Amino acid sequence: MDKPSVAFSEILTCEVGYPAFCKPLDHPSSLVSNTKYVRTSPVVSKIVDGLDRVVEFETLNTKYIRIGHYPNSVFHEYEADKISETGS
């Protein structure tokens, strides 16, 4: 069974073997807040960028992708628009 993919905007902690604390944006469960930090199930893998920032991680139940690294989504387009407007 495929895990759902969820965009996240911020992350406090993310270590393999432990729950992550992040702010999801489009989690499909009504039990999960999409406006506050949440505690995930234990992290099974993570990907970081060249600055050691978590850009993607997977838990027992869900795959999380940081906005800006979320292809073909409104979040990705929004992030691109923000960057082009600010020049950052």
pLDDT digits (tens, 9 = 90+) for 49-71: 888 889 999 999 999 999 876 55
- The pLDDT, as a whole number, for residue 78 is 45
- CA proximity to 12, closest of 4, 1, 2, 24: 24
- Cα 41 to Cα 21: distance, rounded to the nearest angstrom: 10
- The pLDDT, as a whole number, for residue 72 is 52
Please return the burial class of 19, using the count of CB atoms within 10 Å of its CB with bins 0-12, 13-18 and 19+: middle
**Over the stretch 3-37, which tens digit does the pLDDT of each residue have?**
999 999 999 999 999 999 999 999 999 999 899 99
- The pLDDT, as a whole number, for residue 79 is 46
Phi, psi of 25 (to 5 degrees): -115, -25
SS3 content of the chain, % helix, strand, coil (to 5): 15, 40, 45
Q: Where are the domains of the chain?
A: 5-86
